[in-house]
């Protein structure tokens, strides 16, 4: 099992853990491979943590969850992020949340067999001081519920050192990775390999920095033209390494500029996005959705 083109950094870890964790929790899979746009030695610890968290010392889920049917969310509301502060549950607008909360220990995840009536706000309680472990474990645990559209909200609490805004940001990142709620861009990027025509990690960082003010786009940063175009299916735009120091720019899977000097490529990518007016359209359709009913 693996999530291809998962990306890098925290987003890559969350996407990998959510996807792999969903299948492992159902007893599917014998081997996993985490694929990050980073040095290869960074991938193994992430894979080991996913297995440790979900499978324990046995290396396999002993009580797999019965696979649930994928279904479309029945309401127009996007999942909401709830925060826990000084004994109070708070909505995103700062008002108190008065509804039910499904509170559970992270070691005993609840079984939700289908989309039940009413709102299901998941409130896992962790005890973790390591930021990377918390990121991986929470995504591996919660990803399934949002991929299957079973939950309506998320509230991560932690008795360890990681508190406050970090937990809120993590909640939004899990919703983003599972496409339950889009609040920023999705970046697709391949793992490094011998065919890569530029410093992929640096290119990913630069493209993210240049386009981070936009919302709702899928942008692929691929290292070569051998596998890149085929593996970035679904992306709105592509930034693909060609000859040394050259970049092809794609709209969808169609190259619109070839052999752009690397120093000019990001500027040209931004120009094409701006001409399309894509950013504003995507942002309006994905980020400004109503939250849970009051």
86 and 112 in a single domain? The answer is: yes
49 and 129 in a single domain? The answer is: no
193 and 162 in a single domain? The answer is: no
- How many CA atoms lie within 13 Å of 20's alpha carbon, on the beta-carbon side? 31
Residue 10, pLDDT > 90, answer yes
Q: How many helices (H) and strands (E) does the chain have?
A: 8, 12
Number of domains in the chain: 3
Residue 244, pLDDT > 90, answer no
Average pLDDT over residues 202-212: 94
Question: CATH number for the domain including 266?
Answer: 3.30.413.10
Q: Classify residue 232: in a domain, yes or no.
A: yes
In this predicted structure, what is the pLDDT of residue 284? 39
Q: Classify residue 60: in a domain, yes or no.
A: no
Residue recorded with tokens 């109070």: 88
160, 178, 196 - which closes a domain: 178
Q: Which contacts qualify for 236-239: CB closer than 8 Å, 24 or more apart?
A: 236/278, 236/282, 237/269, 237/272, 237/273, 237/278, 239/203, 239/207, 239/265, 239/266, 239/269
201 and 226 in a single domain? The answer is: yes
Residue 290, pLDDT > 50, answer no
| Residues 187 and 219 sit within 8 Å (Cβ to Cβ) | yes
What is d(CA 220, CA 234) in angstroms, rounded to the nearest whole number? 9
Residue 95 structural domain: 80-178
Q: Classify residue 120: in a domain, yes or no.
A: yes
Residue 235, pLDDT > 90, answer yes
Q: Classify residue 69: in a domain, yes or no.
A: no
Q: Classify residue 272: in a domain, yes or no.
A: yes
268 and 220 in a single domain? The answer is: yes
Q: Classify residue 65: in a domain, yes or no.
A: no
Average pLDDT over residues 243-263: 93
Q: Of 174, 129, 128, which is closest to residue 22 (Cα–Cα)?
A: 174
Residue bearing the bigger pLDDT, 77 or 101 = 101
Tens-place pLDDT, residues 91-135? 999 999 988 899 998 888 787 765 555 688 999 999 999 999 999
Q: Of 97, 22, 257, 57, which is closest to residue 248 (Cα–Cα)?
A: 257
Q: Classify residue 67: in a domain, yes or no.
A: no
Average pLDDT over residues 53-68: 72
Q: Classify residue 70: in a domain, yes or no.
A: no
191 and 152 in a single domain? The answer is: no
pTM of the predicted structure, to 2 decimals: 0.86
């Amino acid at each position: 099992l693996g999530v291809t083109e998962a990306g890098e950094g925290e987003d890559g870890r969350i996407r990998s853990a959510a996807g792999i964790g969903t299948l492992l929790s159902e007893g599917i899979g014998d081997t996993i491979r985490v694929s990050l746009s980073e040095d290869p030695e960074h991938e193994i610890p992430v894979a080991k943590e996913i297995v440790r968290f979900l499978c324990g010392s046995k290396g396999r889920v002993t009580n797999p969850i019965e696979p649930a049917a994928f279904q479309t969310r029945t309401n127009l509301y996007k999942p909401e992020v709830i925060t826990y502060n000084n004994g109070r549950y708070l909505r995103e607008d700062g008002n108190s949340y008065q509804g039910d909360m499904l509170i559970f220990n992270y070691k005993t995840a609840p079984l939700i067999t289908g989309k039940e009536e009413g709102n299901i706000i998941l409130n896992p309680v962790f005890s973790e001081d390591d930021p990377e472990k918390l990121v991986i474990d929470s995504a591996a645990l919660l990803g399934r519920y949002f991929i299957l559209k079973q939950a309506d909200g998320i509230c991560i609490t932690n008795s360890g050192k990681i508190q406050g805004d970090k937990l809120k940001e993590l909640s939004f990142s899990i919703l983003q990775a599972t496409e339950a709620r889009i609040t920023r861009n999705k970046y697709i990027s391949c793992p490094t390999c011998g065919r890569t025509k530029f410093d992929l990690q640096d290119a990913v960082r630069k493209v993210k920095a240049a386009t981070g003010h936009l919302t709702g786009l899928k942008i692929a940063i691929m290292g070569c033209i051998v596998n890149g175009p085929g593996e970035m299916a679904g992306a709105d735009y592509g930034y693909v390494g060609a000859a040394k120091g050259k970049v092809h720019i794609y709209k969808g899977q169609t190259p619109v500029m070839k052999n752009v000097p690397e120093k000019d490529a990001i500027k040209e990518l931004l120009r094409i996005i701006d001409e399309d007016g894509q950013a504003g359209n995507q942002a309006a359709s994905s980020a400004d959705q109503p939250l849970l009913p009051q």
